[in-house]
């Protein structure tokens, strides 16, 4: 208001000098003096109301926003004048910040709920390795409440050894909950300029036990099926032969029946022996002995061993990989045998080709057969769609591929009949 009065002072002073030096009547002089001063003060007050008050409201609004109070709004906001526009933008900013704060609060509440419910222990340590956050799973892992853990050092919680070494690893350790096998992920983040550590620990023991139980269940089912297939006819034939030996007088063709029955028993026993040998082979695959292997020569030798049908070779780049030549040869022989069986008498082609991409060798065995159904079960041990198949060829082939750090996929071709086996191996 002082500036407004000062701005009108020259005009008021000039008017008063002219008024009092003009020889006017005293009554007129005093009346005009009061009018001039009243008008001067009124204009100053009006300027204060239209300029200073909005600026004060804007200042108060910005102060409230700085304090985190987004409920205050300024009156007189509009878009016609500069001050009204400034108040309008301040109100809009307050509304936006309020919505963002509500969203952040809701997101934080959701995150807290998720962190509390997930079955993975999460710990956050500050730059001095003092615990700043732990979820419920972390409390269960250390068998201690959060109130007694927050602020404790990593050494006091027993987690200090996990803050060193590889950021992702498997460890066998005992915590408050007991011993077990754990998967540990460690990362870092910054808060208020200081480095913090985030530790995520998941229990693998329960998952491994469940996977082990399922594996044993599948294995027992396969063994029961195969053994029963052999023991059932053996038991029946043994009973029949015992009855045949007990007959008096013996039948004329007893010797022939005994010979036939014993041959069948021997055949079933041999089949059971072959099954057990196949299982042993699948479970005792030796570690690959790596040596330089030329892909072209490897493919050529495997193709030459398939004599039932001509197999084409679409030569790829001349490269050498580090692998076990014998194991990869067995893998290719299995894939070629399956491809030739799939083609059968349809007259379709079988060929092998390979390329290199992203430091990997991609070798494909392609056939123009009828394709396969139930691709999800193709690599299940002892699962086969062939009347005389053993069900271990593809399982053994994938095991060989994975032992070399690669993968093996069998899938139906897209837009063409038949299927393709894709072997992916690292070049180094």
Q: Residue 223: enclosing H or E segment and its boundaries?
A: helix 205-246
pLDDT of residue 267: 77
pLDDT of residue 420: 92
What residues of the chain score a pLDDT lower than 50? Answer: 387, 389
Backbone phi and psi for residue 72, each to the nearest 5 degrees, phi listed first: -80, 140
CA distance 176 to 113: 24
CATH topology of domain 291-426: Heat Shock Protein 90 (3.30.565)
CA distance 345 to 347: 6
pLDDT of residue 85: 77
The predicted model scores a pTM of 0.44
Show Cβ contacts of residue 392 under 8 Å, excluding neighbours closer than 6 positions. Answer: 278, 279, 281, 282, 381, 382
Of 75, 72, 79, 176, give the one whose Cα is nearest residue 121: 176
User: 10 Å Cβ neighbour count for 309?
Assistant: 16
Q: Which sign does the torsion angle of CA 287, 291, 292, 298 carry?
A: negative
pLDDT of residue 299: 93
pLDDT of residue 81: 66
Class of domain 118-203 as given by CATH: alpha beta
Q: Residue 114: enclosing H or E segment and its boundaries?
A: helix 82-117
Q: Which sign does the torsion angle of CA 190, 192, 195, 199 carry?
A: negative
pLDDT of residue 366: 94
Show Cβ contacts of residue 179 under 8 Å, excluding neighbours closer than 6 positions. Answer: 172, 173
Q: What is the DSSP letter of 153?
A: B
Of 7, 6, 10, 12, give the one whose Cα is nearest residue 33: 12
């Amino acid at each position: 208001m002082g500036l407004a009065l000062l701005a009108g002072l020259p005009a008021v002073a000039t008017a008063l000098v002219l008024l009092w030096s003009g020889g006017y009547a005293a009554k007129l002089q005093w009346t005009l003096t009061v009018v001039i001063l009243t008008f001067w003060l009124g204009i100053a007050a009006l300027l204060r109301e239209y300029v200073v008050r909005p600026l004060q409201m804007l200042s108060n609004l910005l102060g409230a926003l700085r304090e985190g109070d987004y409920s205050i709004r300024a009156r007189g906001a509009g878009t016609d004048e500069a001050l009204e526009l400034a108040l309008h933008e301040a109100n809009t900013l307050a509304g936006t910040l309020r919505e963002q704060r509500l969203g952040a609060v809701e997101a934080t509440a959701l995150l807290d709920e998720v962190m509390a419910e997930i079955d993975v222990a999460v710990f956050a340590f500050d730059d001095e390795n003092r615990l700043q956050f732990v979820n419920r799973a972390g409390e269960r892992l250390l068998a201690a409440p959060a109130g007694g853990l927050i602020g404790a050092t990593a050494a006091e919680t027993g987690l200090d050894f996990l803050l060193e070494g590889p950021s992702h690893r498997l460890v066998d350790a005992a915590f408050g909950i007991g011993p077990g096998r754990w998967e540990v992920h460690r990362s870092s983040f910054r808060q208020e300029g200081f480095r913090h550590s985030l530790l995520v620990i998941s229990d693998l023991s329960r998952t491994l036990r469940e996977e082990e139980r399922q594996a044993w269940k599948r294995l027992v089912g396969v063994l029961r099926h195969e053994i029963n297939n052999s023991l059932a006819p053996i038991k029946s034939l043994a009973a029949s032969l015992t009855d045949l030996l007990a007959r008096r007088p013996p039948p004329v063709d007893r010797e022939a029946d005994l010979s036939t029955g014993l041959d069948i028993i021997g055949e079933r026993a041999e089949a059971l022996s072959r099954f057990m040998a196949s299982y042993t082979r699948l479970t005792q695959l030796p570690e690959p002995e790596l040596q330089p292997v030329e892909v072209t020569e490897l493919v050529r030798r495997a193709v030459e061993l398939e004599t039932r049908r001509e197999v084409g070779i679409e030569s790829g780049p001349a490269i050498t990989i580090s692998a076990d030549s014998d194991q990869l040869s067995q893998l290719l022989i299995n894939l070629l045998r399956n491809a030739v069986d799939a083609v059968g008498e349809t007259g379709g082609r079988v060929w092998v080709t390979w390329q290199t991409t992203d430091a990997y060798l991609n070798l494909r065995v392609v056939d123009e057969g009828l394709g396969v159904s139930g691709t999800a079960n193709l690599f299940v041990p002892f699962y086969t769609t062939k009347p005389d198949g053993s069900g271990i060829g593809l399982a053994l082939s994938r095991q060989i591929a994975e032992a070399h750090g690669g993968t093996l996929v069998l899938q139906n071709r897209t837009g063409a009949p038949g299927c393709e086996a894709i072997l992916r191996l690292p070049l180094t």
